């Protein structure tokens, strides 16, 4: 009996030790994310208060663990916020800016390296910035994290502070911030028969996009549509920008590039021009078809029986792209409709 009791006690003790050992890892919790020294800054209430200008090159944001920053702005103050990082599917940093009332006033959620926010404060007070790591799936072990650099600078609009009550007024000191400039993006329509850009008409109704930085990367910071003069003007703080147009069906670009870079100097104007033309697909009457009707119209124009300006889409008739509308174009359109050729020389099919 004594021997049986000792064996029973030894077995119970061994089982207890095994339970303790097996339970220990669960009590240790998940592997923590390697974060930066500004933690704990995971909520607006715990935001790190910073002064402007601000720059920190060694920040880390973790999945489901946002970084918050708080700073004061006066009404009319313009700022630029840059989050610099190397983008990948697991390294996609986004930024969200909130006004004094807690409402979101700007964001940067592009899908490339770096994010930029340009904002003019509509109200004075404390603004908060949330830096977040975009995650398209659930949490991982170990948690994902991304290193980034954050820079916030004032650009313009800083008013001169009023002197304390009861003190003599001093001569105001001019603000060192730079005045805003402007970027003018214009659209011209290249017309048949002339290489003189001064004779090309403006293109109203085209959407233009403005991006912070070069290369037209990420989301545009501004968009607008060209007016009757074919132009749109963006009022911007000084800095590097890039511009792109939104193409339309039935048109092709004759400009050298789809994205144009430029530096907006303080208080001055930067102009960039995009030139398009109608794709010469033979559809001169604009009914969506290239057929014998278009061929007849081309012959009438070639013979002088129909004025060129009678057809708004007349430039589509130069299907051999030789700069003229004549019987050769009419013949090619007929051959195309009859199935004798698969494509027009300009590539229309």
The string of pLDDT tens digits covering residues 214-234 is 899 998 988 889 888 889 888
What does the block give as tokens for 309? 């300006």
Do residues 304 and 298 touch, judged by C-beta distance below 8 A? no
Does one domain contain both 48 and 152? yes
Does one domain contain both 67 and 143? yes
Is residue 235 pLDDT above 50, yes or no? yes
Residue 5 lies in a domain: no
Does one domain contain both 94 and 194? no
Q: Regarding predicted confidence, which is higher, 267 or 11?
A: 267
Does one domain contain both 152 and 54? yes
Residues 6+ apart with CB under 8 A from 151: 53, 54, 55, 80, 81, 82, 84
Q: Averaged over 72-98, what is the pLDDT?
A: 87
Residue among 206, 205, 337 nearest 283 (CA): 337
CATH of the domain at 124: 2.60.120.380
Q: Averaged over 282-299, what is the pLDDT?
A: 80
Residue-level pLDDT at 339: 80
Give the number of C-alpha atoms closer than 13 A to the C-alpha of residue 178, restricted to the C-beta side.
16
Is residue 21 pLDDT above 50, yes or no? no
DSSP string for 128-166? EEEEEE--SS---SSPPEEEEEEEEEEEE--PPPPPPTT
Residue 64 lies in a domain: yes
Does one domain contain both 109 and 145? yes
Is residue 93 pLDDT above 70, yes or no? yes
Is residue 90 pLDDT above 90, yes or no? no
Is residue 238 pLDDT above 70, yes or no? yes
Residue 99 lies in a domain: yes
Q: Averaged over 234-261, what is the pLDDT?
A: 85
Give the Cα separation of 139 and 144 in Å (integer).
Answer: 8
Is residue 69 pLDDT above 90, yes or no? yes
CATH of the domain at 222: 2.60.40.10
DSSP-based three-state secondary structure for 2: helix
Residue among 150, 158, 125 nearest 69 (CA): 150
Q: Averaged over 127-154, what is the pLDDT?
A: 84
DSSP string for 3-65? HHHHHHHHHHHHHHHHHHHHHHHHHH-SPPP---TT-S--SGGGPEE--SSEEEEEEEEETTB
Most confident of the following: 126-140, 233-247, 256-270: 233-247
Q: Regarding predicted confidence, which is higher, 157 or 41?
A: 41
> pLDDT tens-digit profile of 178-201?
445 678 888 888 776 666 777 788
Domain coverage including residue 188:
181-278
Residue 8 lies in a domain: no
Q: What is the mean pLDDT of the chain?
A: 77
DSSP-based three-state secondary structure for 210: strand
Residue-level pLDDT at 193: 62
| Phi, psi angles (nearest 5°) of residue 38 | -90, 0
Is residue 159 pLDDT above 70, yes or no? no
DSSP character for 80? E
Does one domain contain both 311 and 231? no
Give 3-state DSSP helix, strand, coil % of the chain, rounded to 5.
20, 35, 50
Residue-level pLDDT at 138: 66
Residue-level pLDDT at 288: 73
Residue 106 to residues 85, 136, 139, Cα–Cα distance (Å): 19, 22, 27
Q: Averaged over 323-328, what is the pLDDT?
A: 81
Place of tokens 């004061």: 72
Is residue 70 pLDDT above 90, yes or no? yes
What does the block give as tokens for 315? 């430039």
Residue-level pLDDT at 29: 47
Is residue 4 pLDDT above 70, yes or no? no
Residue 39 lies in a domain: no
- 269-281 core/surface letters (b: 16 or more CB in 10 A; e: else): ebebbbbbbbbbb
CATH of the domain at 347: 1.10.1330.10
Q: Based on the structure, what is the number of domains in the chain? A: 3
Q: Averaged over 266-288, what is the pLDDT?
A: 80
Do residues 127 and 152 touch, judged by C-beta distance below 8 A? no
pTM of the model: 0.44
Q: Averaged over 110-125, what is the pLDDT?
A: 81
Query: Mutual orientation of helices 292-302 and 327-338 as an angle, nearest 10°?
Result: 170
Q: Where does the pLDDT of residue 32 fall: very low under 50, low under 70, confident under 90, or very high at 90 and above?
A: low
């Amino acid at each position: 009996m004594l021997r049986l009791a000792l064996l029973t006690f030894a077995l119970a003790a061994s089982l207890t030790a095994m339970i303790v050992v097996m339970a220990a890892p669960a009590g240790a919790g998940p592997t923590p994310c390697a974060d930066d020294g500004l933690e704990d800054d995971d909520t607006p209430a715990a935001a790190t208060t910073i002064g402007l200008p601000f720059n920190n090159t060694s920040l880390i944001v973790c999945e489901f663990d946002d970084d918050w920053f708080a700073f004061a702005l006066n009404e009319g103050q313009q700022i630029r916020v840059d989050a610099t990082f190397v983008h990948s599917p697991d390294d996609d940093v986004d930024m969200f800016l909130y006004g004094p009332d807690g409402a979101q006033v700007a964001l940067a959620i592009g899908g490339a390296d770096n994010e930029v926010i340009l904002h003019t404060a509509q109200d004075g007070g404390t603004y908060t910035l949330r830096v977040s790591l975009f995650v398209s799936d659930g949490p991982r072990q170990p948690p994902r994290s991304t290193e980034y650099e954050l820079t916030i600078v004032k650009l313009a609009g800083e008013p001169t502070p009023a002197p304390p009550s009861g003190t003599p007024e001093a001569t105001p000191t001019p603000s060192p911030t730079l005045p805003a400039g402007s970027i003018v993006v214009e659209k011209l329509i290249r017309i048949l028969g002339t290489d003189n850009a001064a004779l090309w008409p403006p293109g109203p109704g085209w959407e233009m996009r403005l991006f912070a930085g070069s290369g037209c990367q990420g989301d545009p910071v501004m968009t607008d549509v060209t007016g009757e003069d074919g132009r749109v003007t963006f009022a911007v703080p000084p800095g590097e920008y890039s511009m792109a147009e939104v193409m339309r069906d039935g048109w092709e670009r004759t400009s050298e590039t789809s994205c144009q870079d430029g530096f907006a100097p303080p208080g001055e104007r930067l102009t960039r021009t995009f030139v398009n033309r109608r794709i010469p697909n033979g559809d001169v009457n604009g009914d969506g078809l290239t057929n014998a009707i278009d061929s007849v119209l081309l012959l009438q124009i070639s013979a002088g029986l129909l004025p060129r300006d009678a057809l708004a889409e007349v430039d589509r008739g130069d299907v051999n792209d030789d700069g003229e509308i004549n019987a050769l174009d009419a013949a090619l359109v007929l051959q195309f409709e009859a199935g004798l050729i698969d494509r027009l020389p300009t590539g229309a099919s």
